[in-house]
Structure 1
Amino acid sequence: MESKRDIYTGIIESTTFHYQAFAAERDELLQLLQKEVATNEALRQKLEEEDESNQCIAELQKAEISALAKKVFELENKLEQIKDENSCCICLEPWQADSDHRRISLYCGHLFGECCIREVLSNAEACPVCHQQADSNQLHYIYGPENIIS
């Protein structure tokens, strides 16, 4: 039969073995946990960088959209100006080269649709824009393309 000392020694050796096995397993788990924490931190930093990058892209797109909206506004204004310049200032309709609403000018240089200015001059005998004296004998036909683009 074994002595108490041998029994205690066996228990201590067994306990030490199990302790060392648990310690080794604990160390292995700790290393895995540290590796996961490092991976998690790297992913968090990458996500943070992507968020910053996305914010920069969004700001650039916002600025680009704003610049394009400004250009569209300017082009719409220019188009409206061209339309106004190519329309009769009496009726606001475009001139027609092959109708009684073709372009015609007074001595003062203002342009009108022929039928519109003839009607105005039959009542007022003055340019409706600058009020300079005019009559239907002073009308000058304007020849050229149907629309004038400045």
Structure 2
Amino acid sequence: MDEKQLLKMLKRDIIAEVEVERAQNAPKLELINEKLQQEMLRKEVHTMRTKNEEMRQKLALQDRDLKPFIDMEKRKLLDKLDEIADENKCCLCALKFETGGSHRRVILKCGHIFGQNCICTYLKADKKCPVCDSLAYLCDPRVIITGEILYTPLSN
């Protein structure tokens, strides 16, 4: 055998050995790759948890900083609701208006609002608005329905 043939045989043997080793190491390589992926995922999860915790802390600080503002706005809204509730009461008897019946909202020419029976009873005794003293007659009150004024006098 000459040297070239010997080298070819050696090369073939080496290639065959490498292929056998590759085949034997393939499961080990897969296991190593899986472990690397798991480690990368573990690091990514850790990073995400750290970021989430930082965000949670920032939000807690923002909530703490916003709480006085929110409380102030809440107080304003409650005051406005109280004001609206007061506006929805008759200033003569301090009862809430009804949507119909004898205590429904009526308005005088001067713009003041009363319960129907209350203002009619008042106007029988005195011919002026109890709030601003402008002249008012028993036929002046107009019924208010959902914010609109019906321009027909009440019948008594």
Output the TM-score relative to the length of structure 1. 0.53
Partner of 1:51: none
Q: CA deviation at 1:57?
A: 7.2
Counterparts of residues 46-85 of structure 1 (less than 5 Å): 60-85=62-87
* Pairs within 5 Å for 1:137-148: 137-144=139-146
Higher RCO by CA contacts (8 Å cutoff, separation 6 or greater): 1
The Cα of 1:58 is off from its aligned counterpart by 6.8
CA distance in 1: counterparts of 2:67 and 2:103, whole angstroms: 42
Gaps of 5+ in 2: 1-56, 148-156
CA distance in structure 1 between the aligned counterparts of 2:65 and 2:84, rounded to whole angstroms: 28
Q: Could you tell me how far 1:88 is from its partner in structure 2?
A: 1.4
Alignment-derived partner of residue 16 in structure 1: none
Corresponding residue number in structure 2 for 1:118: 120
Q: Which residue does 2:96 correspond to in 1?
A: 94
Q: CA deviation at 1:96?
A: 0.6
Once the two structures are superposed, what CA deviation does each residue of 1:96-129 show, in whole Å capped at 9, x if it has no partner?
1222000111111111100111122122211111
* Count of matched residue positions in the alignment of Structure 1 and Structure 2: 93
Q: For 1:52-99, what per-residue CA distance to the aligned partner results, in whole angstroms no more than 9, with x for missing partners?
A: xx7x87764433221111011110111112212222122222211222
State the 4+ residue runs in structure 1 displaced beyond 6 angstroms: none
**Stretches of structure 1 lacking an aligned partner (at least 5 in a row):** 1-53, 146-150
Structure-2-length-normalised TM-score: 0.51
Question: Aligned match of 2:107 in 105, 108, 128?
Answer: 105
How far apart in 1 are the matches of 2:82 and 2:93?
Answer: 16
Partner of residue 13, structure 1: none
d(CA) in 1 for partners of 2:115 and 2:100?
12
